[in-house]
Structure 1
Amino acid sequence: MEFNNLHELLRSLYDEMIPLSADMAVVAKGVAGLGALFYVALRVWQALSRAEPIDVFPLLRPFAIGICIAFFPTIVLGTINTVLSPVVKGTHAILDDQVLDLNKLRESRDLLEREAKLRNSETAYLVSDEEFDKKLDELGWSPSDLAAMSGMYIERGIYDFQQAIRRWLRELLELLFQAASLVIDTIRTFFLIVLSILGPIAFALSVWDGFQSTLTQWLTRYVSVYLWLPVADLFSSMLAKIQMLVTKKEIEDLSDPNFIPDPTDAVFITFMIIGIIGYFTVPTVTGWIIQAGGAGNFMRNVSQTAQRAGNIAGAGSGASAGNVLGKLLN
């Protein structure tokens, strides 16, 4: 199963879990009803004891919250998701466009790189079987040429091994990059499900005196977590745009007939490591958009995870890129 299908699976899971909030609404109605009784009774008693007219408008707050609890999946979740879903779709469309353009540029770059190697007589036989066979025919089968032929086979084997190492590093880093994205999306889906199912309870508690801020805190946390996905898509779009600019520069260099390509993936490895670490900063960046408290321990854990991932990725990339690529790819 591809990573895109896993992201779609998480979205389907969220849609299937939302109706469970209606079950919590039954319990929340009782808690909110008892809280509304004390809420109204206290304010009416205070007004009567002071011989003041009763202000009816503030007394409507528990009833408005009760309506939200009774129709929580439709009124509350439906309204919030309808307002925020265009943001998610817009950022995802931006990401799709950037990735599509990047894939096209990579195909052009790979084609130009192959053509550049074919133009060079020293590297043509490494990338083309026809050129390899042609060079073997030119050498002939005399005993004096056997050593040169053996060297050609060795060089071809080393070149194929280098390409295998490059593909392995690219696939590994792309896997880690996609895994980091999936981790953020999974945690986001879990938080949204918990907030959605227990949302009626939070609304019911907000009726009671002393818990009025519960409603505001629930709303800010839900919106903040919901925006994780748009922020992650924008971050991926930025990385894709940077790689597009680098790829365009490589295409310009490869268009020069005298340019000899250097088969290294140092830039790609660097940006993949940045992307893996950067995904764990998504909750922090989202907190700049809308302030939501109550996630202190989680943010500390995210920071520690990002720091450990950076140390591991930096050490691994240093060893792999420095030793393997330095000896095999150059």
Structure 2
Amino acid sequence: MIFPSVIALINGVLQPTVSGTAAMVHNSDDAVAALLKAKENAIQQTDAWQMYVGSTGSGDQDRWYKYTHPGEDPSSAGFLDGIGDDIKFAMAKASYNFRNSVKEWMSEVLQVLFAAAALCINTIRTFNLIILAILGPLVFGLSVFDGFQDTLRN
């Protein structure tokens, strides 16, 4: 008859821990979001982002040419050199975009894994409380009989 109060006591002790860790996660999520926003702003100020993505999303080939061919004039290049430079720019832009998409993909995968781990931990906690609520009264009841005293300890 007293076991529901035992379960309430255990849950009362564990609930502040769960609430506290949830609050810490919420605060850390806000901090991570602020850091990601600051990182995004910092990335947009880099030469690589301005060359390969830019404000339009298609990049800036003139800036790329000045960076890769310092001191040369783009108009002095021949027709075949211009085609080669176009291909080099397209490949460099594709490489930059691919690296960024891999980073974003990994970020999404890690966020999903974090959510799955949190769900697993909460599920195990709830399952243990349910098992304790079902088997606890039986163990308390059986522990009064000779030969079953160690069931309470187990």
Same fold flag (TM > 0.5) = yes
Give the whole-Å Cα distance in 2 for the aligned partners of 1:213 and 1:202.
10
CA deviations on 1:164-203 (whole Å, 9 max, x unpaired) are 2222223233333433333333333222211212221111
Indicate yes or no: 2:54 matched with 1:128. yes
Query: For structure 1, which runs of at least 5 residues remain unmatched after alignment?
Result: 1-66, 218-330
Instruction: Supply the AA of the counterpart residue of 1:94.
Output: M
Partner of residue 91, structure 1: 21
Instruction: Supply the AA of the counterpart residue of 1:161.
Output: F
- State how 1:248-327 maps to structure 2 within 5 Å: none
SS in 2 for 1:198: helix
Partner of residue 109, structure 1: 39
Deviation at 1:206, TM superposition (A): 1.7
CA deviations on 1:84-143 (whole Å, 9 max, x unpaired) are 32222123222222222122122112211221x1xx3x652113154825628x957x73
How many residues align? The count is 141
What TM-score do you get using the length of structure 2 for normalisation?
A: 0.72
CA deviations on 1:247-305 (whole Å, 9 max, x unpaired) are xxxxxxxxxxxxxxxxxxxxxxxxxxxxxxxxxxxxxxxxxxxxxxxxxxxxxxxxxxx
Query: For structure 2, which runs of at least 5 residues remain unmatched after alignment?
Result: 66-73
- The percentage of counterpart residues that share the same residue type is 34
Give the whole-Å Cα distance in 2 for the aligned partners of 1:129 and 1:87.
46
Give the whole-Å Cα distance in 1 for the aligned partners of 2:106 and 2:135.
43
Give the whole-Å Cα distance in 2 for the aligned partners of 1:103 and 1:215.
48
Out of 137, 142, 160, the residue aligned to residue 97 of structure 2 is 160
Which structure is higher in RCO with an 8 Å CA cutoff and minimum separation 6?
Answer: 1
Deviation at 1:208, TM superposition (A): 1.4
Deviation at 1:80, TM superposition (A): 2.5
The 3 A distance-change label for structure 1 pair 216 and 96 is farther
The 3 A distance-change label for structure 1 pair 149 and 107 is same
What TM-score do you get using the length of structure 1 for normalisation?
A: 0.37
Instruction: Supply the AA of the counterpart residue of 2:130.
Output: I
